[in-house]
Amino acid sequence: MTYNILISDPLSEDGIYPLRQAEGFNIVIETNLTPEELGERIGEFDALLVRSQTQVTREIIEKGTNLKIIGRAGVGVDNIDLPAATERGIIVVNAPDGNTNSAAEHTVAMLMSLARNIPQAFHALKNQKWDRKSFIGVELKNKTLGVVGLGRIGAEVAARAKGQRMNVIAYDPFLTPEKAEKLGVQFGTIDDVIRAADFITVHTPLLKETRHLINKEAFEKMKDGVQIVNCARGGIIDEDALYNAIVEGKVAGAALDVFEEEPFLDHKLLTLPQVIATPHLGASTVEAQEIVAVDVSHDVVSFLQGGVVKNPVNLPSVPKDVMAKIEPYFNLIEKLGAFLSDLAEGVAEELNIYYSGELANMTVGPLTRNAVKGLLKSKLGESVNDVNAKFLADRIGIVVNEHKTTKSKGFTSLITVEVKTATETRKVSGTLLNGLGARIVRVDDFVVDVVPEGYLLFIRHKDQPGAIGRVGTLLATEGINIAGMQVGRSEVGGDAIMMLSIDKHVEETGVEQLKGLADIYDATPIDL
């Protein structure tokens, strides 16, 4: 098997060694593709690796008919249409830790350059002007830095600002007064921060909620002479509002690494002498580029080779130790979902998953996704995967509920999956038996012991002499060998079930004949 990997933005050559070393990976590096060219070529590739420049739009994703994974060698994924990727079952991974330090250092460099007019003074000197009067700066010491977004980078910037003896006030929806105290920063609302700060730096992702977070109204609340730093994303600050606030004298200066439209060669803001800028260089260090490329390459290799990823963006990430405990159940629960898909009549409306025993104390989201995947796969085919299973269930209108109980009826862990359709409720339970592997141990209210694999036949019948024999004879005439069989009954002469493991699929005509046999109520082939 060969995987075709397209790298469409410049990545560190040293950093992509995990891809180069992996067997069966064909790497194509094309960093100057136009969107049209990318659209024409993307269908050839299993993986796409980008930084911030390639716009991975819905159109590109839809043309990526072989795409399985998109790797972002960096943090921000605002250049990737995540809903489109999720809908098509394409996993998106990023490298969130690798460039924190570089981005924080760049922010501090911009803050200090801004305070002391270093770029402007250098520019004057280059133009043979020895000008000391025009470039009188301000000290950072004892000034207040307002940090909007106290995540990885924001917290690093705050720590460095304290080293400059600044006071730091921060706002982040996930910040608590206790956490703020621990980090040695003052806790505030966004209003507190923008009103108190002499310098404001933003470190949020670009989201619907953060677009133009710093807008005309926000500038009006700020101190006169405030200075602004943006090394996060263009668009968090409204560029028109910033321009006006500088022209009107409200804002004394701005240091910008990122812009609403990138790349550009001329920009209205750069016509202002108070604005200094870099072309999105926050993560551009040798160190950061190597780490982010290594991280994302590892995830791409691992994913395509069937392993787990460290930094999923459109799937919740699960700690390694938890994953090790739940992963053995992935196949079992997918089979339970698939079993019900064949067993239950009608369209699923509700899926209830009951986790009992040890599993009840664990993160079970990935297991639930596998149950949904199993349920949907037999109808929708291989296009269903972990990434889009929940999305597809939502779209179809299947309500998925998880239930947990530590009581497990004698099993270490027991999983029961129940499906409700318009006409019936059916359920199946499975477990992992020590040394024996996966077993289905209950179907509806009947106890069984079946390996969830291959071709099964589930029959409901009346507990009468001869019923089992008639089924065996009919299967024999159809040339179907029985490999294993379980029977169960509610009471003598009452409702009963047969669960057969057979060597091939029973065709529709065979099913009809089975249903026509005396004492047989129903027969359902289940292919796992």
Ligand X SMILES: O=C(O)C(=O)COP(=O)(O)O
Pairwise CA distance, residues 311 & 330, whole Å: 19
Distances 349 to 229, 338, 402, 525 between C-alpha atoms, Å: 51, 15, 15, 22
Give the one entry of ligand NAI, ligand X, none that residue 366 binds, where binding means its C-beta sits below a cut-off of 5 to 8 angstroms depending on kind.
none
Question: According to the binding rule CB under 6 A, does residue 427 interact with ligand X?
Answer: no
Residue 116 C-beta: closest distance to ligand X, Å: 25
Pairwise CA distance, residues 200 & 226, whole Å: 8
Question: According to the binding rule CB under 6 A, does residue 52 interact with ligand X?
Answer: yes
Q: Which is nearer to ligand X, 285 or 352 (CB)?
A: 285
Longest CA–CA separation in the chain, Å: 109
Burial of 218 (0-12, 13-18, 19+ CB in 10 A): buried
Question: According to the binding rule CB under 6 A, does residue 168 interact with ligand NAI?
Answer: no
Measured distance between the N- and C-terminal CA atoms of the chain, rounded to whole angstroms? 25
Question: According to the binding rule CB under 6 A, does residue 173 interact with ligand NAI?
Answer: yes
357 in Cβ contact with 408 (< 8 Å): yes
Catalytic residue among 44, 262, 350, 478: 262
Any catalytic annotation for residue 262? yes
> What DSSP letter does each residue of 75-136 carry, written as one string?
S--TTB-HHHHHHTT-EEEE--STTHHHHHHHHHHHHHHHHHTHHHHHHHHHTT---SSTT-
Q: Is-cis flag, bond preceding 263, omega within 30?
A: yes
Question: According to the binding rule CB under 6 A, does residue 203 interact with ligand X?
Answer: no
Any catalytic annotation for residue 287? no
The arrangement of strands across the sheet holding 495-502 comes to 482-489, 495-502, 455-462, 520-527
What's the half-sphere exposure (Cβ side, CA atoms, 13 Å) at 42?
Answer: 27
Question: According to the binding rule CB under 6 A, does residue 51 interact with ligand X?
Answer: yes
Query: Among 8, 201, 210, 341, which residue sits at the site for ligand NAI (rule: CB under 6 A)?
Result: 210
Angle at which helices 365-380 and 389-396 cross, to 10°: 60
Query: Among 6, 150, 351, 389, which residue sits at the site for ligand NAI (rule: CB under 6 A)?
Result: 150
Pairwise CA distance, residues 77 & 205, whole Å: 9
Residue 156 C-beta: closest distance to ligand NAI, Å: 8
Distances 96 to 75, 76, 119, 160, 223 between C-alpha atoms, Å: 5, 8, 30, 20, 33
Per-residue contact string for residues 99-138; x = within reach of ligand X by CB under 6 A: x---------------------------------------
User: How is residue 425 annotated by DSSP?
Assistant: E
Per-residue contact string for residues 18-57; x = within reach of ligand NAI by CB under 6 A: ----------------------------------------
- 249-278 residues in contact with ligand NAI (CB under 6 A) are 257-258
Burial 90-100 (b: 16+ CB within 10 A, else e): bbbbbbbebbb
Query: Among 11, 22, 110, 153, which residue sits at the site for ligand NAI (rule: CB under 6 A)?
Result: 153
Catalytic residue among 88, 267, 280, 439: 280
Question: According to the binding rule CB under 6 A, does residue 282 interact with ligand NAI?
Answer: yes
Per-residue contact string for residues 267-306; x = within reach of ligand X by CB under 6 A: -------------x-xxx----------------------
Identify the CA nearest to 413 among candidates 460, 354, 464: 354
Any catalytic annotation for residue 212? no
Pairwise CA distance, residues 12 & 286, whole Å: 8
Question: According to the binding rule CB under 6 A, does residue 468 interact with ligand NAI?
Answer: no
> Beta strand pairing status for 495-502 and 482-489?
antiparallel
Q: Which is nearer to ligand X, 282 or 430 (CB)?
A: 282
Query: Among 74, 188, 366, 430, which residue sits at the site for ligand X (rule: CB under 6 A)?
Result: 74
Query: Among 12, 120, 204, 370, which residue sits at the site for ligand NAI (rule: CB under 6 A)?
Result: 204
Spell out the alpha helix ranges (H) of 190-319.
190-196, 216-221, 239-247, 286-304
Residue 111 C-beta: closest distance to ligand X, Å: 18
Give the one entry of ligand X, ligand NAI, none that residue 51 binds, where binding means its C-beta sits below a cut-off of 5 to 8 angstroms depending on kind.
ligand X
Pairwise CA distance, residues 453 & 493, whole Å: 30
Query: Among 145, 232, 241, 498, which residue sits at the site for ligand NAI (rule: CB under 6 A)?
Result: 232
Give the one entry of ligand X, ligand NAI, none that residue 472 binds, where binding means its C-beta sits below a cut-off of 5 to 8 angstroms depending on kind.
none
Question: According to the binding rule CB under 6 A, does residue 151 interact with ligand NAI?
Answer: yes
- Binding residues (CB under 6 A) for ligand NAI: these are 74-76, 96, 99-100, 103, 148-154, 171-174, 203-206, 209-210, 213, 231-233, 257-258, 280, 282-283
- Binding residues (CB under 6 A) for ligand X: these are 51-53, 73-76, 99, 280, 282-284
Q: Please give the positions annotated as active site.
A: 233, 262, 280
